Amino acid sequence: MESASERSSASPIRIGLIGKTNAGKTTLFNSMTLLAGEVSNYPFTTKTPESGIASAVTPCVHKEFGVTDSPANSKCDDGWRFIPVEVTDLPGLIKGAWMGKGLGNQFLSVAAQSDALLHVVDASGSVDKDGKISEPGTGDPMADFADVELELVLWYTKLFTQNLPKLSKLSKTPGYGIPSAVEEVMQGIGVRKEHVVMAIKDAILGDKAFDSWNEKDIQTFCWSLREYSKPTLLIANKMDLPFAAENFKNLREKFKGLIVVPTSGEAELTLRRAEAKRLIRYVPGEERFEILKPQDLNDAQRSALAYIKRKVFGEYLRTGVQFALNIEVFKLLKMNAIYPVADAEKLTDKHGRVLPDVFLMPSGSTVEELAKAVHSDLARGLVYAVDVRTGLHLPSNYMLRDRDVLSIVSTAKRS
């Protein structure tokens, strides 16, 4: 299995949508990926049919430099850069999935290979215990969230427990220790040494020999491991419906360790579809839309847009969908948007395109890692990077900052 940490930073970030049936995952997925259809030159193709390309949006640097850009790996709209990320719409999870029920194993392994998750809950409570749509206020969003989380943790625990003999042996091997042992066994699902160290601390197992961990210790440890290794944002969806506002507050109150973002996936989908038909002007994430051709709207379209204006933009200022993706990428995963250019004067690549690319690099990444992400040849001959703003020469171990525009100087010619 390919692990999240092994893959090249040039491949897109993978975000998995999880949650109960009818929480609104597919609607969110469709709304997030609708825009990408217009962009033909995204460098990535998706691997599974349920995957698509969405965007993380950040203010583009072209305004600051007073230039007109010609984006290649991303898109620029109204001063906003749309950087591709991959999202996967996972099938709803049923109880007992961790034991392999339903599509359990398939679901969990895709979830585990995502870099981060969006856990979608129907905040209006219009889904009943059996997952069927009913009146708002019937369901229990708090329990929905907890159920799915429990399945995930039980699955982590199962993987861990199955590997106890191997873990025990590895942890006693010279040069290993528990963190390296757990990383080796669980890195395929995104577990890294630093996550293990933090989980050991949380479970207060620092002084306990691995072989004497009891069932309770393992449970507590696996719970923390899931939290650290898989950053998750809680999406309170269907905010346009009754009961949602109250449940949103309760969710935020009860799950204090999480960022909770209120959304209306349905509203976002309506707006992006209307934008695609040029009926309205709407930049995802913005707090407004403009009707372009009032005379072309039919009655249903007119009332849908009026509903969104009243129920979504009125109370929450935005649909929350693009906002949730941005928070996931820039806050939870702590990505920096980096603009590599070949010519530090003209801000162009070798084809003369201005500010062509943006790379998402995790915080802590260096000039060297950027060079590798751009091209391996570039990295091999790396000398330094020119900071376009100041002209300074930045050494290969310089830690990148968000919105850096850099020209990499290398003895290797780029192919």
Ligand X SMILES: Nc1nc2c(ncn2[C@@H]2O[C@H](COP(=O)(O)OP(=O)(O)O)[C@@H](O)[C@H]2O)c(=O)[nH]1
Residue 372, contacted partner among ligand X, Mg ion, none, CB below 5-8 A by kind: none
- Strand 80-89 versus strand 14-19 pairing type: parallel
**List of E strands, 263-334:** 280-281, 290-291
Q: Which stretch binds ligand X (CB under 6 A): 20-28, 39-47, 212-220, 337-345?
A: 20-28
Q: CA 113, CA 2: separation in Å to the nearest integer?
A: 8
Member of 13, 26, 127, 372 binding Mg ion (CB under 5 A):
26
SS (H, E, C) 148-160: HHHHHHHHHHHHH
The H-or-E segment that residue 373 falls in is: helix 367-374
Q: State the nearest-atom distance from the C-beta of 21 to Mg ion, in Å.
A: 7
Q: With residue 122 as reference, give the H or E element that holds it.
A: strand 116-122
237 binds Mg ion per the rule CB under 5 A: no
Q: Yes or no: say if 184 and 170 are a contact pair by the CB < 8 Å rule.
A: yes
Q: Which of 55, 58, 264, 322 binds ligand X (CB under 6 A)?
A: 264
By the rule CB under 6 A, 284 interacts with ligand X:
no
In angstroms, the CA 193 to CA 240 distance is 42
* 22 near ligand X, judged by CB under 6 A: yes
Task: Determine which residue in the list 15, 27, 34, 170 makes contact with ligand X, applying CB under 6 A.
Answer: 27
Residue 69 beta carbon to ligand X: minimum distance, rounded to whole angstroms? 34
How many other C-beta atoms can be found within 10 angstroms of the C-beta atom of residue 372? 18
Which one among 16, 52, 84, 92 touches ligand X, defined by CB under 6 A? Answer: 92
- Residue 281: CB minimum distance to ligand X, A: 22
Beta carbon nearer to ligand X, 219 or 237: 237
Q: How far is the CB of 92 from Mg ion (least distance, A)?
A: 6
Interacting span for ligand X (CB under 6 A) from 23-31, 107-115, 221-229, 356-364: 23-31
Helix intervals (H) in 114-176: 141-162, 164-172
Piece of the chain touching ligand X by CB under 6 A; list 151-159, 216-224, 262-270, 329-337: 262-270
The 200-239 site mask, x for binding ligand X (CB under 6 A), equals: -------------------------------------xx-
CB of 202 to ligand X, least distance (A): 31
Our CB check for Mg ion shows the closer of 265 and 356 to be: 265
Query: Residue 327 gets which letter from DSSP?
Result: I
Closest to ligand X by CB, 86 vs 266, is: 266
C-alpha 342/C-alpha 348 separation (Å) is 6
Which of 115/266 has CB closer to ligand X?
Answer: 266
Nearer to Mg ion, 25 or 226 (CB): 25
CB 88, min distance to Mg ion, A: 11
CB nearer to ligand X: give 316 or 339.
316
Asked whether 54 and 34 are in contact (CB, 8 A), the reply is no
**Residue 78 contacts residue 134 (beta carbons within 8 Å):** no
Instruction: Tell me the three state secondary structure of residue 260.
Output: strand
User: If DSSP codes are grouped into helix, strand and coil, which group holds residue 85?
Assistant: strand
φ/ψ of 30, rounded to 5, equals -60, -40
**152 Cβ contact list (under 8 Å, min separation 6):** 18, 98, 108, 111, 226, 230
Closest distance to Mg ion from the beta carbon of 120 (Å): 10
Distance in angstroms (rounded) separating the CA atoms of residues 58 and 118? 19
Residue 51 φ then ψ, to 5°: -100, 150
Q: Which of 15, 26, 189, 260 binds ligand X (CB under 6 A)?
A: 26
Contact region with Mg ion (CB under 5 A), list: 18-26, 68-76, 231-239, 291-299:
18-26
Does residue 270 belong to the site contacting ligand X (CB under 6 A)?
A: no
What does the DSSP 8-state code read for residue 188? G
Select from 16, 24, 71, 320 the one that contacts ligand X (CB under 6 A).
24
Tokens standing for residue 273: 């579809």
Where on the chain is the footprint of Mg ion (CB under 5 A)? 25-26
Where on the chain is the footprint of ligand X (CB under 6 A)? 19, 21-27, 92, 237-238, 240-241, 264-266
